[in-house]
Each structure stands twice: as structure tokens, then as C-alpha cells.
């Protein structure tokens, strides 16, 4: 069975601080995709990034960056110079090849609070 | 382009009743997935429909069912409601039914069972 662990339940930072959200996953499949989604108070999940199991290149998109390490089964997410608008719940998710289709296994989420 | 629309946004039902939730995906998307979000269990996959066929199913009792119409709109039904069914039900729409596909979520239906 698949599992995604986000050990950090809640993180509070002051604006402009950097913050890293941790994600550790478990799967026996060798082909899979990892995702990060953001859930603002309005409720809908917003897609941020996906990474396949064969691509360990780190990625940077503006203030966001992602570090994928297969050796430690981790897919961590860093926000540089955080802003109040970054306050939300962030979810890491996994989808595997076996069974096909869209069947995301989510972590329990990390509530990020960015204060002035 | 309109996003994913879920109706109703809020619902209060009594234990033992049944409920139907609706999801209209983004135009052109053929895959619709449903998730249940609760404080205790987090986000859990219910089922996925693609081209009117159930593609995947999560570990939920048979009281939870769904269907998809030819225009890709989907409904999910919960019969014999229990207090524990109180949750935010999220619908996600995708252009295809593949593991690498980005999912676009609606704002959800908040169901309260009393």
C-alpha cells in the first residue's frame, strides 16, 4: 500500500522567512508521480507541481523550489521569502502506475501560517 | 474557462437519509474523481470515473456510489447517512485518466449529518 507522511502539522513563520515543508512517501511501485497541492481557506486544492519517479532534478519556480530525493523517499517543498498570501494547508500526494488512473494518496497536510 | 463546479456548497442532512452531490468538470475533461476530507482521516480517495465508467475505487462502504453522465458531469450518492459521513467532499477534474495528470479541484460540498 502507498503512504505519504507529512510530519509537520503546523508551521508558523514571519514574513520573508524561508520555510521548508517535508514529505516522505512509501510505495513498492517503481513508476509513480509525486505532487504538491495548496489548499487556501476557500477549500479547493490548487496544483503546484508534479515530479515523476525517474526525474530527480530539483525545480525552482519563482519563490518555490522542490527537492526530490529517491534515496530518502522524500519530496520537500521550500518557499523562499514567504508572504502572508502563502498561508494555506499544503498537501503532498502520490499516484502510482499500478491500477492506472487518477487515484491520489495524500499526506495529512501541513498548515502554514505566515505572519507580518 | 470555467473551473470545476460543485453543488450544493453546503448541506445539512439527518442520519439515515440519503444525499446526492453534483460535480461539473472543466469543459473537455473526461475524468472526474471524488475525495472525502475529514479532520480525522484527511483526504481520502472515493472513486474515479472516466468516460462514464468507474476506473478506480477507494476503500469506502457500498453506501457510497457514483456515476458519470455522457457530458462528463458526475454525481455521488451516499445512502443511509451516518454522523461520520460529515465531511468536505471534493471533486477533481482531469483531461485524462493517467497517473501523471494534473487534477483541478472544485471548492467542495460541505456535508453535515445531524
A85-94 per-position pLDDT tens digit = 999 999 999 9
Half-sphere exposure of B94 toward its Cβ, with a 13 Å CA cutoff? Answer: 22
Q: What share of chain A is helix, strand, coil (3-state, %, to 5)?
A: 5, 55, 40
pLDDT of residue B1: 65
- Cell numbers linked to A35: 505532487
Poorest-confidence range of A43-52, A71-80, B8-17, B103-112? Answer: A43-52
List the single residue in A with minimal CA-CA distance to B41. Answer: A108
pLDDT of residue B8: 97
How many beta-carbon pairs below 8 A join chains A and B? 80
A41 touches chain B (CB under 8 A): no
B88 touches chain A (CB under 8 A): yes
pLDDT more than 70, % of chain A: 100
Task: State the average pLDDT over residues B19-36.
Answer: 96
For residue A103, pLDDT over 80 is answered with yes
Amino acid at each position: 500500500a502507498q503512504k505519504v507522511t507529512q510530519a509537520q502539522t503546523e508551521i508558523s513563520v514571519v514574513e520573508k522567512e524561508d520555510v521548508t515543508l517535508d514529505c516522505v512517501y512509501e510505495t513498492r511501485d517503481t513508476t509513480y508521480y509525486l505532487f504538491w497541492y495548496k489548499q487556501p481557506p476557500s477549500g479547493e486544492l490548487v496544483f503546484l507541481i508534479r515530479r515523476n519517479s525517474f526525474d530527480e532534478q530539483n525545480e525552482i519556480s519563482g519563490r518555490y523550489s522542490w527537492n526530490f530525493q529517491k534515496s530518502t523517499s522524500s519530496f520537500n517543498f521550500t518557499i523562499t521569502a514567504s508572504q502572508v498570501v502563502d498561508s494555506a494547508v499544503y498537501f503532498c500526494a502520490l499516484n502510482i502506475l499500478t491500477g492506472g488512473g487518477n487515484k491520489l494518496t495524500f499526506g495529512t497536510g501541513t498548515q502554514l501560517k505566515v505572519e507580518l | 474557462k470555467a473551473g470545476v463546479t460543485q453543488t450544493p456548497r453546503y448541506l445539512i442532512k439527518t442520519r439515515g437519509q440519503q444525499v446526492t452531490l453534483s460535480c461539473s468538470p472543466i469543459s473537455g475533461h473526461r475524468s472526474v474523481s471524488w475525495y472525502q476530507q475529514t479532520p480525522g482521516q484527511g483526504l481520502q480517495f472515493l472513486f474515479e470515473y472516466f468516460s462514464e465508467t468507474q476506473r478506480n475505487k477507494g476503500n469506502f462502504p457500498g453506501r457510497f456510489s457514483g456515476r458519470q453522465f455522457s457530458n462528463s458531469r458526475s454525481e455521488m450518492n451516499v445512502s443511509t447517512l451516518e454522523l461520520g459521513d460529515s465531511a468536505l467532499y471534493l471533486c477533481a477534474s482531469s483531461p485524462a485518466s493517467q497517473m501523471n495528470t494534473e487534477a483541478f479541484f472544485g471548492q467542495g460540498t460541505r456535508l453535515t449529518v445531524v
